[in-house]
Amino acid sequence: MTIRLGVDNVCYQHTIAQGLLGLEGFLDRVVSCGGTAVQLDPLSSAFGLSVQPVSLNRLRALLVERGLTLVVKGNSSGAGFLAVEGQAADAMVETLRAKLDAATVLGAQVVRLVSRAYPFPADGWTPLAVPRQVVLERLVKTLRRLVPEAEARGLVLALENHGDLRIAEMEWILAELRSPSLRVQLDVAEQTTLFEDPLETVRRLAPHAVTVHWVDFVPRLTNRGYFVTACRPGEGLLPLAEMAAILRTVPQPLLVFVAGQAEHRSDEDPIVQEHLAFLRRELLGETPGLPRQF
């Protein structure tokens, strides 16, 4: 088994949003951290990227110069419900087809997908009026259109457990499609929003994973409930050492991305640095040096 470490651009959401970190700066920071892979949207307006060939060719050149592997974010930035029908499904497939084409140009092999088929109301999504099995069947129908597109391009779709699908639902979807071009992006934290055991999540979904979103988190109480925020390894609720032990046992190659959304910009670098150090130690068996300060 080969494990490679990388960084998702979401780790620097505050720095990027404030215009303090551009595309090249982000890629350079990943390299400086010792990462060999990045996960980002190749059409991200925050990085000034687009579907135009000049933009895609520039991004590919930057990645090649730095020896970075790219995992493409398919439907990202809160956009794109896959469990839809009719014209909405047609539009979603067309959007993702553009991402698959971009992945081919960029030399990427994996495109990450999120169903956004939440079992609870979310922005633009009110599933409670639709039986859950109907929602899942709509999702499978959309995936049946996307999987052949991925197969034709030699790509793998990595469906993430994003707090939108239960573990058993993920397993059912994989069994329905039965394609090597549909795998899993395993997020070690997201199932907690569905009150499912995160360690059980890793046990059951790791065998299907090609990519991993790695994070630890803590809840913050508000007067309307709570929200969660990323934290340094060991400061949060997740059994990280036990999760890493499971990941070490899977036979297939894995790309493991630090993917925590910090509450404050000042927390972003320490969270990335310390999680990468943890992963080098627990997954790769290395003894990393001191984190680089930015």
What is the predicted pLDDT for the residue at 125?
Answer: 61
Angle at 140 between CA 139 and CA 141, to 5 degrees: 90
Please answer whether residues 275 and 258 qualify as being in contact, where contact means their C-beta atoms are separated by less than 8 angstroms: yes
What pLDDT was estimated at residue 256?
Answer: 99
* Burial zone of 154 (CB within 10 Å; 0-12 exposed, 13-18 middle, 19+ buried): exposed
Amino acid at 108: A
The SS3 call for residue 245 is helix
User: What are 62-93's pLDDT values in tens digits?
Assistant: 999 999 999 999 976 455 689 889 998 999 99
CA distances to 36, 198, 212 from 166, rounded to whole Å, are 31, 11, 17
Structure tokens at 84: 């839809």
CB 137 within 8 A of CB 176: no
Q: Which domains does the chain have, with CATH numbers?
A: 3-214+230-282 (3.20.20.150)
What integer is the mean pLDDT of 199-221?
96
**CA gap 17, 78 in Å, rounded:** 15
pLDDT at 293 (0 to 100): 46
Note whether 243 and 187 are within 8 A (CB): no
Q: What is the mean pLDDT of the chain?
A: 92
| H or E element that contains 177 | helix 167-177
pTM score, whole prediction = 0.93
Distance set, CA 234 to CA 77, 124, 215, 275, 279 (Å)? 28, 35, 10, 10, 12
pLDDT (tens digit per residue) in 269-286: 999 999 999 999 999 998
E strand or H helix at 209: strand 209-214
Instruction: Flag whether pLDDT at 288 surpasses 60.
Output: no
